Amino acid sequence: AIGIHSMECWLVGIIDGSHNNSKVNNCIDRLNRAIGKTNKYKIIPPNKKENSKETYTKLASRLKKKKDIIRISKKNVGFERFIEQLQNINL
């Protein structure tokens, strides 16, 4: 099994290079603070019940190339382990 934390923990590293990648709590709050700094995306609601598809799509757009995914995965242990497992099964 792979401990993946939450997708928000992975995403915070994509837009905020200064975050502490060992922290895996309050990731939605940390992601929203990072989003607020860039003013490029809508804030993700803490309860995720509202539609945040556009925000997630924009954030994920940075993950289209394999080399970018591997580079960015180094910013979060859970994401890095997930990518390593995918590489092990040749996906």
> Please, which pLDDT band fits residue 21 given cuts at 50, 70 and 90?
low
DSSP secondary structure of 3-55? ----HHHHHHHHH-TTS-TT--SSHHHHHHHHHHHHTSSPPPPTT--S--HHH
Name the token pair of 76.
């979060």
Per residue in 67-83, pLDDT tens? 988 888 887 777 888 88
Q: Which residue has tokens 């990731």?
A: 27
